[in-house]
Amino acid sequence: MVNYKTIYKCHECGATSYQKVIDRAQNGALLPTGQYRCTGCRNIFSDIRSWWEPRRSAEQPCATPSA
């Protein structure tokens, strides 16, 4: 059995999939909200990058561009 690894997984729970969040609009139609829900922990994220990218801690300095 082949075991694949990916960096594209939830930074909270490690799930490797997400779903678009669907909500009912004013006119009654079901439409995507532009947000994403993790299929593991069910947390909602504003974009895909915030789903998989680890959060920066206050202790980690930001990368500074070299001159």
Query: Mapping DSSP to helix (H, G, I), strand (E, B) and coil, where does residue 32 land?
Result: strand
Its domain, for residue 2, covers 1-54
Query: Mapping DSSP to helix (H, G, I), strand (E, B) and coil, where does residue 49 land?
Result: helix
Per-residue pLDDT tens over the stretch 16-51: 999 999 999 999 999 999 999 999 999 999 999 999
Has residue 67 been placed in a domain?
Answer: no
How far is residue 8 CA from its own chain's centroid? 9
pTM, to two decimals: 0.69
Has residue 66 been placed in a domain?
Answer: no
What is the dihedral sign for C-alpha 7, 12, 15, 17? negative
Count the Cβ atoms, other than its own, within 10 Å of residue 37.
Answer: 17
- State how many domains the chain has: 1
Has residue 60 been placed in a domain?
Answer: no
Has residue 61 been placed in a domain?
Answer: no
Helices and strands of the chain, counted as H and E runs:
1, 3
- pLDDT value, residue 23: 96
Has residue 13 been placed in a domain?
Answer: yes
8 vs 59 pLDDT, higher one: 8
